[in-house]
Amino acid sequence: QVQLVESGGGLVQPGGSLRLSCEASRSRFSIDIMGWYRQAPGKQREMVAHLTSNGITTYADSVQGRFTISGDVTKNTVDLQMSSLKPEDTAVYYCAALLRVRIYWGQGTQVTVSS
């Protein structure tokens, strides 16, 4: 069992920046991938960015060039630096971790982009 704790959400104006952080509890097994997903009201949850244990990153087209995922999956931590935020980035952001064949989720943190 892995528990994920996110922090760093909040309200920001369009064009602003926010940083999200996530830490996973220690587990008997190593985490393979950590990442961030988001879900806006009335929409399905979507992938934002992934970071593998060997440092490979993947981004959704909608955030490429604006968001940066970083951290150390081998140490169970991942961050998401969000810049040039747009109102359409408003959503609940979830940290996720893939361990063996199971995905674990954090409780989510609200990000609101509004003037």
80 and 37 Cβ atoms separated by less than 8 Å: no
Question: Which pLDDT does position 29 carry in this prediction?
Answer: 87
Question: Which pLDDT does position 95 carry in this prediction?
Answer: 98
What percent of the chain shows pLDDT beyond 70? Answer: 100
pLDDT tens-digit series, residues 30-76: 999 999 999 999 999 999 999 999 999 999 999 999 999 999 999 99
What percent of the chain shows pLDDT beyond 90? Answer: 93
Write the CB contacts of 111 (distance below 8 Å, at least 6 apart in sequence): 9, 10, 12, 18, 20, 38, 82, 85, 89, 90, 91, 92, 93
pLDDT band at 2 (very low <50, low <70, confident <90, very high): very high
What average pLDDT does this structure show over 10-18?
Answer: 98
Question: Which pLDDT does position 26 carry in this prediction?
Answer: 87
